[in-house]
Amino acid sequence: MGVTARRAAFAAIVTLALCGCGLSSSPAEGLQFQAPAGWKSSPGIMGLMQFWQSPTNDEEVLMLLRSPRPLQPKEVFSSSGMQGTLKNVKVSELRAIQICRNQPATYLAARGTSSRGAQDDAEVVLTNLGGKAYVALYVRPLGTPANPAASAAIRELCAKP
């Protein structure tokens, strides 16, 4: 086999491996989760994380994370757990809710400082489903009215029927 044929074979193997591993798969696969119409999606990252950006405000973002194991609210909603998203977090609401008719979840509303130094409002929903945890975040600049479709989307962490 010549050098060119080996390179082509190697490229084909790498391509198949990347496609087969789901490196660009969405954590929303298998869920009813759907970002609002018109929001721009990033590619999924290994089925673990994905972002959506508002078409009218690029600082208004939805984020969906999937953990390969169930998580407890204290793991996600602790100061250290929120540091990757917001700093100086001030929680205004933390409560148990039900989504998808009777699926238990935890809801958090908070305000904090983003990585760009701006004040942001955030809504977060955590639920455990099928041995995995799903965390959906809706973050918007302080003073920006909540988008009802984005607020509703973070509660759509329901298994597809």
For residue 4, being part of any structural domain is answered with no
Q: Domain containing 115 — which CATH number?
A: 3.40.1000.10
**Structural domain for 72, as ranges:** 24-153
The counts of H helices and E strands in the chain are 4, 7
For residue 161, being part of any structural domain is answered with no
**CA geometry: angle 127, 64, 18, nearest 5 deg:** 120
Number of separate domains in the chain: 1
**Residue 155 identity (one-letter amino acid):** R
Q: Where are the alpha helices (DSSP H) in the chain?
A: 3-21, 73-76, 79-82, 148-153
Give the Cα separation of 81 and 137 in Å (integer).
13
Give the Cα separation of 30 and 116 in Å (integer).
33
Model pLDDT for residues 78-124, shown as the tens digit of each residue: 655 555 567 788 889 999 999 998 999 999 998 988 877 888 999 99
CA-wise closest residue to 136 among 114, 112, 158: 158
Model pLDDT, residue 24: 66
For residue 160, being part of any structural domain is answered with no
Instruction: State the pTM of this model.
Output: 0.79
For residue 29, being part of any structural domain is answered with yes
